[in-house]
Amino acid sequence: PSVSVQDGIIEASLPSGESVTVYLYGATVTSWKSNGQEQLFMSKTAHLDGSKPIRGGIPLVFPTDANPKLCIWQVFGPPPKNHATSSLPQHGFARNSTWEFLGKSSSEAGKGDVAVKLDFGLSHAMLSEEFRKAWPHEFGLVYSVTLTKDALRTSLQVTNEGKENFEFQVLMHTYLAVEDIANVRVKNLESKTYIDKVRNASTHTESSPALAITEETDRVYQGLDPATPIVVSSASDDQPLFSITREALTDVVVWNPWIEKAKGLSDFGPDEAYKNMICVEAGSVSAWQTLEAGDSWEGGQSIKSRL
């Protein structure tokens, strides 16, 4: 495998041609190419200069998914009293902080395949003054991005380096590239409970074995078995496009802004690009993970593409 580090951008590629690109800004995966194709969606008007979170790839949401300004707490239940995250920006600080590249390692991935793993770190001391004040807990994050021939894995290790417990949420806000959202179905959500953020955070049970996206969709599916793959498939030939398994993440958010919301997002472009993406986001967001002082937690996702 080869790895290059240039201007805060780390690129790794395998002899078989797959490649991944990660920006130190937010430790954001911005590109994953396999079978010669880009697998992740990136808005044409995304800010790649650190001026705002990157609209595409895999933004990392930590320590909270909620948006205190929109009083969205009712979606995930009221935070613990005077919760530290209530003055953070939407989706927390991880995706708009500059991480450090801890290094790379390659290993045998079995069947003669190799894997290349890129590690990124973020700690409390590295945060901006504003974020340090807003979230005063000593912590360490190690985010690992692992590329193999047929999968991309991202996993996050959270360590509480302080003297008190803290609560957190985590979400891997993955933008998957699709040719036409009208031809996309999401499988293995049937009979799962979800919170519908488009319908006033009401709770529903999924009735469809193959969910079609035909309007603005913003749903938090809860309590899923992480080992059961969420499959994004093509309706026309029922072929799987992506298969996502998780570890220790039991929620999955399905999001598509659709027409109006896409127009309303200044860094989502072109407007019609909602047709070329679907966010399937592995996370732990419907409750708060408590991490005791000195403890660590790890969770992640593995995405296979064009199986």
Q: Which residues are designated catalytic?
A: 173, 281
Closest residue (Cβ) to ligand TA6? Answer: 255
Output 68 or 140, the one with its CB closest to ligand TA6.
Answer: 68
Output 150 or 281, the one with its CB closest to ligand TA6.
Answer: 281
Output 127 or 278, the one with its CB closest to ligand TA6.
Answer: 278
List, as residue ranges, the binding site for substrate. Answer: 55, 90, 95
Identify the three-state secondary structure at position 133: helix
Structure tokens given for 249: 């993440």
Cα–Cα distance between 23 and 51 in angstroms, integer?
13
In the complex, what is the shortest distance from the CB of residue 257 to ligand TA6, in angstroms, rounded to a whole number?
7
List Cβ<8 Å contacts ≥24 apart for 64-73. 64/88, 64/91, 64/92, 64/168, 64/169, 65/91, 65/92, 65/169, 65/170, 65/171, 65/253, 65/283, 65/285, 66/169, 66/285, 67/91, 72/197, 72/201
In the complex, what is the shortest distance from the CB of residue 254 to ligand TA6, in angstroms, rounded to a whole number?
9
**Number of neighbouring beta carbons within 10 Å of residue 202:** 10
Output 142 or 230, the one with its CB closest to ligand TA6.
Answer: 230
In the complex, what is the shortest distance from the CB of residue 255 to ligand TA6, in angstroms, rounded to a whole number?
4
Structure tokens given for 33: 């190419």
In the complex, what is the shortest distance from the CB of residue 284 to ligand TA6, in angstroms, rounded to a whole number?
13
Cα–Cα distance between 12 and 32 in angstroms, integer?
10
Q: Which residues bind ligand TA6 (CB under 6 A)?
A: 53, 90-91, 173, 197, 218, 253, 255, 281
